[in-house]
Structure 1
Amino acid sequence: MGADIGVTGLAVMGANLARNLARNGYTVALHNRTVGRTDALINSYSSEGEFVRTESLSELVESLERPRRVLIMVKAGGPVDAVIDELKPLLDEGDIVIDAGNSYYEETRRREAALREHGLHFVGVGVSGGEEGALNGPSIMPGGSKESYQTLGPMLEKIAAKYHGEPCCAWVGTDGAGHFVKMVHNGIEYADMQVIGESYDLMRSLTGLEPSQQAKVFREWNTTDLASYLIEITSEVLEQEDELTGRPLVDVIVDAAGQKGTGRWTAISGMDVGSPVTTIAESVFARSISSQQELRKITNQVFPAGINEAVSAEELYGSGDSRQDFVEDIRKALYASKLVSYAQGFDMLTAAGAEYGWELDMRAIASLWRAGCIIRADLLDTIMKAYEAPAGERPANLLLAPEFTEAISECLPAWRRVVAAAATYGVPAPVFSSSLAYYDSLRRDRLPAALTQGLRDYFGAHTYQRVDKPGTFHTRWSGDRTETEA
């Protein structure tokens, strides 16, 4: 009997997806460039299901039932193309090649078009949940053709995370849509983590709350409208002590955040489709500046920073309000900023759908993120509700959904106080600040872009439009300064 699916690339994620498939009753053919890794997986986990050992891609393909399904789990970029080039002559029309790594969606679009010419299906699949999710049930965001999903979909839905019995897996759109949705997921994840970090920094710098004390705060916040996976694990990280020194673990971790590129891709792609994902961009920049440690050390000597002791409540508010009130303000500012990051992410998905011809179902996408993935949060149910309205009644931006409009209004005074305190006392809070600026920009009936257009017309004759009549105009700035219609 042929194997149901083949997996090539057996590092942690590939191995765990293979095990997940086997645990769910599928016969999985295994291939890795180093055969020893294949043997190690089979030796350790053969009791979990049926595995087929292969030593080459040709042997892998020969072991599969038709239509063949080959899942690639190698490093994004050139390695994916190398595997595809080797696979292509071995496959027949109708076979399916699946890239479940973090590939850039434009590369997925290119690969899908190229393989389609050879009668092959190429499916870019976004997978979120890390090592544990890959093994026990990730959030899965497949793209590619609808035809390929008819064959592949039931298998992916079976291994996906379940939310109240519903699989967190659904076809999201053609060619690169799956990887695009996963990229936006990761962008929201960047912003979410950064604003959590800013909350931690503000509480420690301005109220004197130590990590172990903050762990209790975040645990309590996880029982509120902030309930989410990231808030939950924040409390666990903050309460962890370092075995070697006895200090809070967070104090001995180097404060330089790494990144694998998906956040940067989201920020760049947001600009490409004309969607202002400012919170995501600021979170990427925050990671970049955290890595400039030597420059920060030099600058700190010139411009000393830091607060030696907690700021009093009187200093923060000019009154006797308790520090607990400021902590509650931070909670509200965190929630409001979190709403903005989701609103920007879904705005970007809407813009990309129009740009690339993807019929993205926003309600379905929100449902995929309710379990298995890193940004799973209770507010996703509210987002789904917002997109359940008939097409003409859905909010133009998630912040305009009634539940979120009410929440933002309630959080706004606290949000402003937190941003003002951060600026006053020199605690960097780029995502808090940019989220608030995004909100304030959206609600303004006039922005200073009118002056920008005037300046562009002055130095570059880029023209402008008027508010009182149609057409495009230019002022003769170096001449008599009369206006002409362009």
Structure 2
Amino acid sequence: MSHADIGLIGLAVMGSNLALNIAEKGHTIAVHNRTASRIDDFVAMAGPLAERVVPKADLAEFIASIRRPRSIIIMVKAGKPVDEMIEQLLPYLEEGDAIIECGNSLYTDTDRRFAYLQGKGIGYLGVGVSGGEEGARHGPSIMVGGAKAQWHNAEPVLKAIAAKFKGEPCCAYLGEGGAGHFVKTIHNGIEYGDMQMIAEVYGFMRDGLGMKPAECAEVFRKWNEGPLNSYLIEITGHVLDAVDPESGTALVELILDKAGQKGTGRWSAIVAQELAVPATTIEGAVAARSISAMKDERLEAEKLYGARRGAEISLSLDTLEKALLAGKIAAYAQGFAVMAKASEEKGWNLPLGTVAKIWRAGCIIRSRFLDQMSAAYEGGPARNLLLVPDFVELMKANHGALREVVAAGAHGEFPLPCLGAALSYFDAYRQGLGTANLIQGQRDFFGAHGFERSDKDGVHHGDWPATIQVEAAEPQV
């Protein structure tokens, strides 16, 4: 007999934690896993919550155990495994049922699956879940896209398990198709930028100010009590404070400086380029991770060019704090600008104020000023955050510090792919008269692309020399 409120397939760490979260919130959940022994392990681990778990090793029995219209969460690896799971489920599903994919899928894949299943009368929800393993267990931020009718079927469960900010669930329906996974992708892009900027500031502390990890940890703990208050600042303090029990050495000093990435940051940079929206902090963070992976080449280059000359810097911790705040604002401004453009082009009508709200708790980039961002987008046009009064004042107060830090980085040979990009973006964005007039002249010279004039309407061309002969330079002996 059908008696589970919802089903879940895939009992790896994230899936298991989501299932426990659902059961803990009072909902009965049917669970299935390709490897049947993992189902038994999960039930044993669930303890008292097992009474609200319906374990089913047989796929048909699993689906039959869920109340109609069925909502089935799948937690499998993104890409081909998702498509394979959909095909396995289809023979057992009925019109009005829904598949809820909670992995980190590329939003265009979600768009494709949504359209495919819509034609079969089956709903598809592409759901971005942020908060890692701990968030999945105790309350993540949940970004829902896909079939609206099926969202309402799953809404009570998803809102129950979401993180809460002042009692309000950090869960919302954002639009059809891949809207939810798109927003999660941009969330991760901002996360990349935020993490990289924190690492760049740590580099100044370690190599410019000679601070030990425990001293750095104390600074980040203090910063977490001020305007930089956020999950990433908080955990940075914990990471820097950790000590390897075997050697007694600060653990961070034993971690190899090669950062991994699973693709979402890169996707966010690519889609920003496709939409012609500058997201230079995200691009810088992705590039930084790629360079970090080139450990052998970096060591070879250091031998060829010499180690950084270690110029002394006179930056204060207050200046570093303000610079990080300014860089963080630029990263969010770019991320929200990408979402605004995508919403316009794809007809999603993304509620950006709601996006900021559901990021206030549970997710990796939760921070103090998301309340201000939410207020900036509620009921108004999707303006760049750098034009919003609250953030104008913050940037006026802090961009000077960012300028000092970037200048010190250039002089002291500190790589600043994100903080440097944030400053360049800010300066370019607020420059009323740029230098693209020269670029337009060049484009018209070699390609007759035309240009607009400041004193006349229409498209114009320059009266350029007819031909220019470029002779090869004579080799110097």
Q: TM-score range by the shorter chain?
A: over 0.9
Aligned length in residues: 466
The answer to whether 1:16 aligns with 2:17 is yes
CA distance in 2, matches of 1:273, 1:221: 35
CA distance in 2, matches of 1:222, 1:477: 58
Q: Could you report, residue by residue, the CA deviation over 1:432-486 in whole angstroms, capped at 9, with x for unpaired residues? A: 11000000001111222222222222223333222222222334646399xxxxx
In structure 1, the partner of 2:448 is 461
Preserved contact between residue 266 and residue 280 of structure 1 (Cα < 8 Å): yes
The answer to whether 1:415 aligns with 2:402 is yes
Tell me which moved more, 417-426 or 58-67.
58-67
CA distance in 2, matches of 1:227, 1:344: 20
5 Å matches for 1:206-355? 206-307=208-309, 311=312, 316=314, 326-355=316-345
In structure 2, the partner of 1:133 is 135
CA distance in 2, matches of 1:59, 1:112: 25
Preserved contact between residue 71 and residue 153 of structure 2 (Cα < 8 Å): no
In structure 2, the partner of 1:449 is 436
Which residue of 60, 66, 77 corresponds with 1:75? 77
Q: Secondary structure at the match of 2:175?
A: coil
* Unmatched tracts of structure 1, length 5 or more: 317-322, 482-486
- The one-letter code sitting in structure 2 at the alignment partner of 1:431 is C
5 Å matches for 1:166-205? 166-205=168-207
Tell me which moved more, 83-92 or 364-373.
83-92
In structure 1, the partner of 2:374 is 384
- The one-letter code sitting in structure 2 at the alignment partner of 1:416 is R
Q: Secondary structure at the match of 1:253?
A: coil
- The one-letter code sitting in structure 1 at the alignment partner of 2:206 is R
CA distance in 2, matches of 1:176, 1:455: 40
Q: Secondary structure at the match of 2:393?
A: helix
C-alpha RMSD over aligned residues: 1.6
State, as a whole percentage, how many aligned pairs show the same letter.
48
Q: 1:475 to 1:254 in 2, by over 3 A?
A: same
What is the CA-CA distance between 1:56 and the residue it aligns to? 3.0
Preserved contact between residue 205 and residue 307 of structure 1 (Cα < 8 Å): no
CA distance in 2, matches of 1:476, 1:122: 57
TM-score (norm 2): 0.95
CA distance in 2, matches of 1:452, 1:38: 62
What is the CA-CA distance between 1:135 and the residue it aligns to? 0.7
CA distance in 2, matches of 1:296, 1:444: 36
Preserved contact between residue 127 and residue 143 of structure 2 (Cα < 8 Å): yes
* Unmatched tracts of structure 2, length 5 or more: 469-477
What is the CA-CA distance between 1:187 and the residue it aligns to? 0.6
CA distance in 1, matches of 2:37, 2:399: 57
Which residue of 140, 145, 157 corresponds with 1:155? 157
Preserved contact between residue 340 and residue 382 of structure 2 (Cα < 8 Å): no
CA distance in 1, matches of 2:327, 2:22: 38
In structure 1, the partner of 2:474 is none
CA distance in 2, matches of 1:475, 1:469: 14
